[in-house]
Amino acid sequence: MNFISKLPDVGTTIFTIMSQMAEDYKAINLSQGYPDYDPPLELKERLNWHVNNGHNQYAPLAGIAALRQQCAFKIKEYYDRDVNWDTEVTITPGATEAIYCAITAIVQPGDEVIMFDPVYDCYDPAVRLSGGVPIHLKLCSPEYSIDWRQVESAISSKTKVIIVNFPHNPTGSIMSDDDMMQLEEIAVKYDLVVISDEVYEHFVFDGKKHKSVLSSPKLAARSFAVFSFGKSFHATGWKTGYVVASALLTKELRAVHQFVTFVAFTPVQFALADYMASNPEHLQSLPSFYEKKRDIFCSALKESRFIIKPSKGTFFQLADYSRIADVPDKVYAEYLTQEVGVAAIPISVFFDDPDSESSRVVRFCFCKEDDTLASAAKLLCAL
């Protein structure tokens, strides 16, 4: 057959590879980011109820009204922004689909899209599939923050979009007020569309608050803000997320979304709408829930030879193993999984040029039962 692969270089995602390896070697899986506990019981019961009571056909294209209304309430409460639930909120089958549709809706062939390494894996391929050119800048160590002067010098007449992701996977860094101001200034000055991946919005620790682009009127007008129920309700397998964007941008997003998946899974939407309405405290409990898990894991690793990096948000923890081994991170992650019994993610895979990343750092995921974290830490402390 005569065809040219559109993504000849991407292979299988590291998350799939490491989870499979964890299963093959019966390792504790701290690699791919998903909880080893269930969504809240009441939420599962609502899902059952809706499946058994006739909510099994296509939802409206933008998502059911009750869930979009709940999202709009939440955005008002957390980010003090009035959004029109009908014209500005779209329910999607996960944040990944939302990001794909936002990129596909906006990026024209030749457009440049700025993103920051280490970068979550789904942005670059989506940009290239639209004929766009990913421009990879690096977050600055040790804080993994954005160098805004570098951003400004990377902007050309072809720059169309900037993609930001805070709280940041894999480093756990968060945005400051100053970052938000700089983003606003640059986006307005150069007329950029912002795609803001905020799937870890509720996992910000140490008394800090998540900064959403939706809190800034100027950014809200030119952004797709992307969220994931999978993260916030311990249900990554339910693959349901949403996008908040101006009516103008939403119209473009939905034009693509209707031909990618058309709609998101119906009964989950009803279940989430019910649960959000009757359990507003759930989201409020998340920062302390995950901060406690981070602290349990990190304090259990105190006696180890890993150097623990600060994790200000997300459910990920970076650990520097340079005092233990001097091998590339992929080799070390495989060793941890196969020989030690704890699966981790090498972070070089989050770089455009993985060979340029020579630091000795792996990512552990701490959205796990406390016992799981303790067992993993025990094995890691023996190294």
Neighbours of 173 (CB within 10 A): 26
Considering only the stretches 66-74, 88-96, 243-251, 359-367, report the one whose residues sit in contact with ligand PMP under the rule CB under 6 A. Answer: 88-96
Site map (CB under 6 A) of ligand PMP, residues 35-74, x = contact? ----------------------------------------
Nearer to ligand GLN, 15 or 148 (CB): 15
Residue 281's nearest CA partner among 40, 47, 76, 48 is 40
Considering only the stretches 76-84, 91-99, 250-258, 326-334, report the one whose residues sit in contact with ligand PMP under the rule CB under 6 A. Answer: 91-99
- Binding to ligand PMP, residues 191-210 (CB under 6 A): 197, 199
- Is residue 29 at the binding interface for ligand PMP, with CB under 6 A as the rule? no
Q: Which residues contact 125 (CB under 8 A, 6 or more apart)?
A: 7, 10
Q: Which one of ligand PMP, ligand GLN, none interacts with residue 165, CB within 5 to 8 A by kind?
A: ligand PMP
Class of residue 24 by CB neighbours under 10 A (exposed 0-12, middle 13-18, buried 19+): exposed
Name the residue with tokens 């014209």. 87
Nearer to ligand PMP, 91 or 340 (CB): 91
Name the residue with tokens 């008002």. 76
Instruction: Give least dist CB 98 to ligand PMP, A.
Output: 8
Q: Which residues contact 343 (CB under 8 A, 6 or more apart)?
A: 18, 19, 21, 22, 25, 27, 28, 29, 30, 31, 333, 336, 337
- Is residue 94 at the binding interface for ligand PMP, with CB under 6 A as the rule? yes
> In the bound complex, which residue of the shown chain has the CB atom lying closest to ligand PMP?
94
Q: Alpha-carbon distance 126 to 111, whole Å? A: 13
- Is residue 88 at the binding interface for ligand PMP, with CB under 6 A as the rule? no
Nearer to ligand GLN, 90 or 169 (CB): 169
Q: Which one of ligand GLN, ligand PMP, none interacts with residue 13, CB within 5 to 8 A by kind?
A: ligand GLN
- Is residue 241 at the binding interface for ligand PMP, with CB under 6 A as the rule? yes
Task: Measure Cα distances from 351 to 132, 136, 264 in Å.
Answer: 18, 8, 31
- Is residue 96 at the binding interface for ligand PMP, with CB under 6 A as the rule? yes
Instruction: Give least dist CB 282 to ligand PMP, A.
Output: 17
Q: Alpha-carbon distance 267 to 274, whole Å? A: 11
Residue 318's nearest CA partner among 172, 197, 141 is 172
Considering only the stretches 92-100, 288-296, 301-309, 341-349, report the one whose residues sit in contact with ligand PMP under the rule CB under 6 A. Answer: 92-100
Amino acid identity of 269?
Q
Q: Which one of ligand PMP, ligand GLN, none interacts with residue 32, CB within 5 to 8 A by kind?
A: ligand GLN
- 85: phi then psi, degrees, rounded to nearest 5: -60, -25
Binding site for ligand GLN (CB under 6 A): 13, 15, 32-33, 169
Nearer to ligand GLN, 13 or 153 (CB): 13
Q: Alpha-carbon distance 83 to 69, whole Å? A: 9
Considering only the stretches 146-154, 236-244, 301-309, 375-383, report the one whose residues sit in contact with ligand PMP under the rule CB under 6 A. Answer: 236-244
Q: Reduced to 3 states, what is the DSSP secondary structure of residue 165?
A: strand
User: Dihedral of the CA atoms 217, 223, 224, 227 (nearest 10)?
Assistant: -50
Residues that bind ligand PMP (CB under 6 A): 33, 94-96, 120, 165, 169, 197, 199, 228, 230, 236, 239, 241
